[in-house]
């Protein structure tokens, strides 16, 4: 399944192998957004579209949430990477129709989200380091041990898999940070600084 999110109008879309693009029915409040989304069915719990401390009738592009989408297995994850994480991170198990807020993340911009090999789920933050999802409690926890610092700026997460001639498979996870490129070869449990520097992205 493919999923998309329109940050300007807070609309969610999905497509499967057997269907064309369809809009989810979780949409903004019809009183304040009269011409957005499906006018006949506004059921579901949408992503909050404005900073939580603002009136919902305030319409300003600088105050509107902008989400990035990620996933772990069939669960969609949306992170607010604008406005100092005022809206936080949410997950949906029904293609974006209903969203539930995650707990445990700092009041910092959430810069990136990735779930390497669908084994773990990671969020990189601005000045609060790396967070990993505890799948038993459904709460995000800071990962500031085993080679990582507490105050890192984690701008990008990438992963790759190498298959060697002898059949061995090695999985790598990488972080682009303000300190350098970090690498993990054990699913994100331990990290090694491989290249020092101030990096924006890693691919």
82-132: pLDDT as tens digits: 755 567 899 999 888 888 999 999 988 899 999 999 989 999 999 999 999
Contact 79, 113 (CB under 8 A): yes
Note the pLDDT of residue 197: 95
Note the pLDDT of residue 52: 45
Which of 171, 201, 203 has its CA nearest to residue 187?
171
Distance CA 192, CA 40 (A): 53
Residues with Cβ < 8 Å from 60, sequence gap 6 or more?
Answer: none
Classify each residue of 117-140 as buried b or exposed e, where b means 16 or more C-beta atoms within 10 Å of its C-beta. Answer: eeebbbbbbbebbbbbbeeeeeeb
Q: Across residues 141-170, what is the average pLDDT?
A: 90
Write phi, then psi, for 74 (nearest 5 degrees): -95, 10
Distance CA 5, CA 110 (A): 17
Distance from the Cα of residue 166 to its chain's centroid? 36
Distance CA 154, CA 180 (A): 10
Residue 186 pLDDT class (50, 70, 90 cuts): very high
54: pLDDT strictly greater than 50? no
* Number of C-beta neighbours around residue 26 at 10 A: 24
Distance CA 175, CA 183 (A): 7
**pLDDT (tens digit, 9 = 90+) per residue, 2-46?**
888 776 666 777 787 787 887 776 655 545 544 444 545 566 787
147: pLDDT strictly greater than 70? yes
**pLDDT (tens digit, 9 = 90+) per residue, 69-96?**
899 998 999 998 775 556 789 999 988 8
């Amino acid at each position: 399944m493919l999923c998309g999110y329109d940050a300007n109008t807070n609309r969610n879309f999905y497509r499967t192998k057997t269907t064309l693009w369809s809009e989810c029915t979780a949409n903004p409040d019809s009183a304040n957004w009269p011409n957005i989304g499906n006018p006949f069915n506004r059921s579901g719990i949408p992503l909050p579209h404005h900073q939580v401390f603002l009136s919902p009738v305030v319409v300003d592009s600088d105050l509107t949430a902008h989400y990035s989408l990620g996933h772990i297995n069939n669960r969609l994850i949306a992170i607010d990477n604008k406005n100092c994480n005022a809206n936080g991170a949410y997950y949906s198990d029904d293609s974006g129709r209903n969203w539930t807020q995650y707990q445990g993340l700092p009041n910092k911009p959430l810069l990136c989200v990735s779930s390497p090999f669908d084994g773990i789920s990671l969020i990189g933050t601005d000045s609060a380091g790396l967070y990993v999802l505890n799948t038993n409690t459904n709460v995000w926890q800071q990962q500031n041990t085993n080679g990582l610092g507490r105050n890192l700026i984690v701008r990008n997460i990438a992963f790759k898999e190498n298959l060697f001639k002898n059949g061995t498979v090695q999985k790598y996870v990488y972080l682009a940070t303000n300190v350098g490129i970090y690498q993990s070869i054990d699913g994100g449990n331990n990290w090694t600084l491989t290249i020092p520097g101030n990096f924006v992205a890693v691919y």
